[in-house]
């Protein structure tokens, strides 16, 4: 049976189609999910893609957190369903308290768009099993509210528990504390990151590399072997 991975569309979402395509390339079935619906259509995992949900009014991800679909996603994530938040999706996961911390405006207050080198810090999550810890990858980054922040106690806990999933290499593009580009929850089924793996799954687009494809093959293997 083909694994089904839901992709949520909020008003202002930009990268839902790209994410659906990446899921299909990985070998799973992409299932569109609308933010006003509580029904997840029996999907096995969910991706919250990038964009500017609700125009980033109030605060990035703050309004989306209250969309009907998020109540079901929070419930299923707490029960173990794999959930990935990319860029704006990462912001929504923080606002929904599925991940700790918050996102602030980039240092310098400018929108950043670049190919970004990352170090994979752990392969012990549902979304990184096809990487190797310490691996150097490059995927596109595009954000204006990408500066990850948390109090020192939370940051120390993330480090101690192996929940920092990615760090920026070469340059910290947005001022994120401790160069953090992505984190996970304690169980490892929920991951959020600012760069966009869905834009690096085919050699002809994005970075010209396929470094992002392993996000989607990782969760596919987890679902198949569950």
Residues that are catalytic: 87, 196, 198
Q: Cα–Cα distances in Å, from 226 out to 82, 145, 219, 223?
A: 11, 35, 10, 5
Nearest-5° angle of CA 22, CA 76, CA 10?
55
Residue whose token pair is 């990352």: 118
The closest alpha carbon to 162, from 125, 194, 114, belongs to 125
Evaluated on CA atoms 69, 70, 74, 80, the torsion sign reads positive
Q: Is-contact 30 70, C-beta < 8 A?
A: no
């Amino acid at each position: 049976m083909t694994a089904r991975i839901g992709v949520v569309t909020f008003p202002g979402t930009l990268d839902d189609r790209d994410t659906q395509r990446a899921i299909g390339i990985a070998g799973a079935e992409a299932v569109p999910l609308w933010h006003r619906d509580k029904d997840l259509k029996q999907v096995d995992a969910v991706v919250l893609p990038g964009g500017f949900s609700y125009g980033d009014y109030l605060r990035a991800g703050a309004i989306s957190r209250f969309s009907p679909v998020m109540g079901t996603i929070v419930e299923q994530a707490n029960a173990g369903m794999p959930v990935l938040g990319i860029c704006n999706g990462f912001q929504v996961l923080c606002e929904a308290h599925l991940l700790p911390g918050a996102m602030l405006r980039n240092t310098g207050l400018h929108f950043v768009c670049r190919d970004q080198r990352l170090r994979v810090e752990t392969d012990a999550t549902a979304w990184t099993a096809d990487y190797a810890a310490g691996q150097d990858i490059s995927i596109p980054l595009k954000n204006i509210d990408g500066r990850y922040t948390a109090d020192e106690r939370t940051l120390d806990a993330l480090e101690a528990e192996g929940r920092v999933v990615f760090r920026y290499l070469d340059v910290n593009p947005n001022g994120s504390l401790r160069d953090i580009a992505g984190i996970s929850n304690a169980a490892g089924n929920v991951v959020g990151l600012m760069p966009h793996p869905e834009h690096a799954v085919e050699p002809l687009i994005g970075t010209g590399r396929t470094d992002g494809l392993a996000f989607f093959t990782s969760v596919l293997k987890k679902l198949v072997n569950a």
